[in-house]
A and B are shown apart, each in its own frame.
Chain A
């Protein structure tokens, strides 16, 4: 897989992407990754700016409670919930996926954004926590098959398949908690860590949220971001 994507086609799209800024550690990495594929996203904490955007990227690393309190401090709860429920493309990353749920075992006293029902739980079976490194994703939500398949295989959803993402491609994970949605129909991808299967991608309408870091997943991660950008109308 090493020589597969040596030349990066620049998108140079004039799409208005809002990158929500509440001080997330990976904010700049996501910005730089988008820049690298030719997309100029706008780092913003201004709700009206986010409202006007064509697509929203919601990054996040760190503790659930710290992320939530920073979102609240910046008065961003309402606009994030609104964007996540709107029809515009929305990409949540890592803790930006987790806070879309009601609560987390990490900081039970801090409520999440509750866009989805369910909670964020800690790995139970895994011997080593955090789950750090490169792992596969199995798509679960294919209507034409009950069998889970690795991401990229004839995936019906362009926002995820990314033309150049293939069987056995791995994405970079670093986390100790994962989402457990009540509505299983939003589970789009799953990953196995040390015998514990967890939700690594959720998808509903134009919302996609991933537990891994596309901005740190090398070429396949950039491919995934490209396909997200490609999905913006």
Chain B
């Protein structure tokens, strides 16, 4: 049986892992390669690196990190942040990443999804959506780390991205992110039910029960975790033990 995946997310700034509450107040939480090795040993099923300040000068830094991780960690990993061309995707994949996640650049140029999928296959293209609730059962797509409302409907955008070739959706709830009060079940369920590609739930995990909850209440495929792991509030081992107990398929 296909296992539900636990994916630690490492936000990278200036070559270091950071994670802030609601994307503000960044704190230094460690060296990316060491953390990647640590999470691999802990039983992470996959890793996600988001370059949150990706400017042109820093592009090289993330490539170096990708190369260093790929030499020592043999589980899949996704890289995102500021990627807006097929050539940039190629550089990162060549350096050893398995998938690329795009967000703002896909909104500005939806054909990027199509071009990326054509060049590397849909399985390489993960569309990240930052969603914020507008009214009952309606969410809008936000960009620029949650600062700008695009006016796009989350469900419509998810469907369109899949039709263009996105192979997976990384769904972050802006409302839940940083609250530690649990994943946004309603949003996650709505997106999972609307598309036929795997969905990664993100934002809001504060305790291990939140992870099993999102797997039991929605048909999402993976859960993304950051600060809860980085500050060692809980371990992947604890999460997986509870998943096993609760009969959620686990590796």
Contact = CB atoms under 8 A, between A and B. Distances in A.
B177 interface: no
A219 B72 CA distance: 11
Interface string B19-46: 0000000000000000000001111010
A192 B121 contact: no
Interface stretch (B91-99, B153-161, B201-209): B91-99
A133 B198 contact: yes
Interface stretch (A28-36, A110-118, A156-164, A197-205): A28-36
A212 B221 CA distance: 18
A227 to B, nearest CB: 15
Contacts of B5: 133-134
Q: Most chain-A CB neighbours within 10 Å: which of B1, B45, B72, B251?
A: B251
A135 B2 contact: yes
Interface stretch (A71-79, A81-89, A169-177, A181-189): A169-177
Given A28-B94, A33-B74, A174-B98, A128 B198 contact: yes
A213 B45 CA distance: 13
B2 A134 contact: yes
A210 B251 CA distance: 19
A133 B70 contact: no
Interface string B227-248: 0000000000100000000000
Contacts of B211: none
A32 B3 contact: no
Interface string A1-35: 11100100000000000000000011011001101
B38 to A, nearest CB: 11
A136 B167 CA distance: 22
Contacts, number: 101
Interface string B113-128: 0000011111110000
Contact of B196 (A36, A129, A216, A219): A129
Contacts of A32: 70-71, 74, 96
B185 to A, nearest CB: 19
B197 interface: yes
A134 B3 contact: yes
A130 B93 CA distance: 18
Contact of B168 (A127, A132, A213): A132
Chain A contact residues (Cβ within 8 angstroms of B): what range? 35 or more
Interface residues of B, number: 37
B164 interface: no
A172 to B, nearest CB: 6
A36 B124 contact: no
A55 interface: no
Contacts of A128: 196-198, 221
A194 interface: yes
B54 interface: no
Contact of A174 (B71, B76, B96): B76
Contact of A136 (B1, B4, B71): B1
Interface in A120-154: 127-136
B222 interface: yes
A108 interface: no
Please list the 4 inter-chain residue pairs (A to B) with the smallest Cβ-Cβ separation, ordered nearest first. A134-B251, A134-B3, A62-B121, A174-B123
Interface of A: 1-3, 6, 25-26, 28-29, 32-33, 35-36, 61-63, 127-136, 170, 172, 174-176, 192-194, 213, 215-219, 221-222
13 contacts: A61-B121, A128-B197, A128-B221, A129-B197, A130-B198, A132-B168, A134-B2, A134-B3, A134-B251, A135-B1, A217-B74, A219-B74, A221-B74
Interface of B: 1-5, 40-43, 45, 70-72, 74-76, 93-96, 98, 118-124, 167-168, 196-198, 221-222, 237, 251
